[in-house]
């Protein structure tokens, strides 16, 4: 079976169009020994430099956020709360400073490896299994994504995104973003409705249409 990373042109779309089209796509990593991890993207949040005080790019380019200002289709990984990594997909044109945060994944391949990365061993604990990738820091831990993955080209063969299920418009939910203090009223969080892997299904003010 041939697995093809989505092309650079896919990431040049409007920020919000990209965010919704990422839903249902597969987030993939091949480990050093050749084992493949993949999971369906089920929840994302959009962040824009312009008029978005919660975006890391809001106050301009710095050494920390320079990947956000580069070419689209790269992975922007940041460290937060002194203990967690989160990953974003750089969107739009060079210099825009826009990105989409991957908030939750539904495991498809390699869940045993994800469990080992998260908990140190394969577990049969249902609660642990259901929590392995249902949050932005959790999924980075499960996929072994840290500081060294910052700036990874998603159009290459280390970590990438490939086409998955096309999600009908009526199955895409929208709400305000969660877990932030500024810009929290913007309805820029998108998720697959009724998917059990969405991180905080009851959080955020829901919007329709």
pTM value is: 0.95
Q: Is the dihedral of CA 27, 164, 69, 178 positive or negative?
A: negative
Q: Tell me, yes or no, whether 176 lies in a domain.
A: yes
- Cα dihedral: 151, 153, 154, 157 (round 10): -130
Q: Tell me, yes or no, whether 195 lies in a domain.
A: yes
Q: Tell me, yes or no, whether 3 lies in a domain.
A: no
Q: Tell me, yes or no, whether 99 lies in a domain.
A: yes
Burial class of residue 196 (count of CB atoms within 10 Å of its CB; 0-12, 13-18, 19+): exposed
pLDDT in tens, 59-87: 999 999 999 999 999 999 999 877 899 99
CA separation for the pair 183, 39 (Å, rounded): 29
**Structurally, how many domains does the chain consist of?**
1
Question: So what's the pLDDT on residue 112?
Answer: 96
Q: Which residues pair with 153 in a beta bridge?
A: 74
CATH number for the domain harbouring residue 14: 3.10.300.10
Are residues 198 and 43 in contact, defined by beta-carbon separation less than 8 angstroms? yes
Q: Tell me, yes or no, whether 1 lies in a domain.
A: no
Give the residue ranges of the chain where pLDDT is below 70. 1-2, 208-209
Domain span including residue 93:
8-207
Q: Say which residue the tokens 């998603």 belong to.
A: 154
For residue 155 the two structure tokens come to 């159009």
Q: Tell me, yes or no, whether 48 lies in a domain.
A: yes
CA separation for the pair 62, 166 (Å, rounded): 36
Are residues 100 and 40 in contact, defined by beta-carbon separation less than 8 angstroms? no
Q: Kindly report the CA angle at 146 between 28 and 66, in degrees rounded to 5?
A: 95
For residue 208 the two structure tokens come to 């329709």
**What is the number of helices (H) and of strands (E) in the chain?**
5, 9
pLDDT in tens, 92-120: 999 999 999 999 999 999 999 999 999 99
């Amino acid at each position: 079976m041939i697995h093809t990373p989505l092309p650079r042109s896919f990431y040049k779309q409007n920020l919000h169009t990209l965010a919704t089209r990422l839903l249902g796509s597969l987030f993939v990593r091949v480990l050093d020994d050749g084992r493949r991890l993949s999971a369906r993207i089920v929840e994302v949040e959009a962040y824009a430099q312009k008029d978005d005080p919660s975006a890391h790019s809001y106050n301009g380019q710095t050494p920390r956020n320079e990947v956000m200002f580069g070419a689209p289709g790269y992975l922007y990984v940041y460290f937060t709360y002194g203990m967690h990594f989160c990953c974003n997909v750089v969107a739009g044109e060079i210099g825009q400073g826009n990105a989409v945060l991957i908030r939750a994944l539904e495991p498809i391949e390699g869940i045993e490896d994800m469990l080992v990365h998260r908990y140190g061993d394969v577990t049969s604990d249902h609660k642990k299994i259901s929590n392995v990738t249902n949050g932005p820091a959790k999924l980075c831990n499960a996929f072994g994504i840290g500081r060294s993955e910052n700036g990874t080209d998603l159009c290459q063969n280390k970590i990438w995104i490939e086409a998955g299920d096309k999600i009908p418009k009526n199955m895409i939910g929208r709400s305000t973003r969660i877990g932030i203090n500024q810009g929290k009223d913007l309805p820029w969080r998108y998720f697959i409705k009724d998917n059990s892997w969405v991180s905080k299904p009851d959080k955020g003010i829901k919007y329709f249409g």
